[in-house]
Homo-oligomer: A and B are copies of this chain.
Amino acid sequence: MNLGKVVGTVVSTRKEQSLEGLKLQLVKYVDEHGKETGAQVVAVDTVGAGPGEMVLVACGSSARQTTATDKRPCDAVIMAIVDSWNVGDRTVYRKSETDR
């Protein structure tokens, strides 16, 4: 998985029928310090992530191992909202209490 930040949403009317009703989030990948790396992905959101939240994205066939994405042409899924992460003894990111 990779760490990323939800920065936007993608809207599509004309698409593979099996994707109807799925929310597509635009995610910018971040490094271990929470800084954007420049890479991005559009991922199906199965956990209700909101704009600005740090998330984990699973790619490839692993993105289809959820009820929402099973057997669908989807290669990226947000499968977790990140509460916090640390590097060594230092907490790099902690979601604000009010956001939880």
Contact = CB atoms under 8 A, between A and B. Distances in A.
Contacts of A64: 62, 65, 73
B7 A81 contact: no
A83 B40 CA distance: 19
Say how many copies of this protein the assembly contains.
5
Nearest to A28: B32
A65 B71 contact: yes
Interface of A: 1-3, 7-16, 18-19, 24, 26, 28, 31-32, 38, 40-43, 46-48, 51, 56, 58-66, 69, 71-77, 79-88, 92, 100
The 8 A-B pairs with the shortest beta carbon distances in the complex, nearest first, are A15-B80, A62-B75, A12-B80, A8-B87, A65-B73, A73-B79, A1-B42, A10-B85
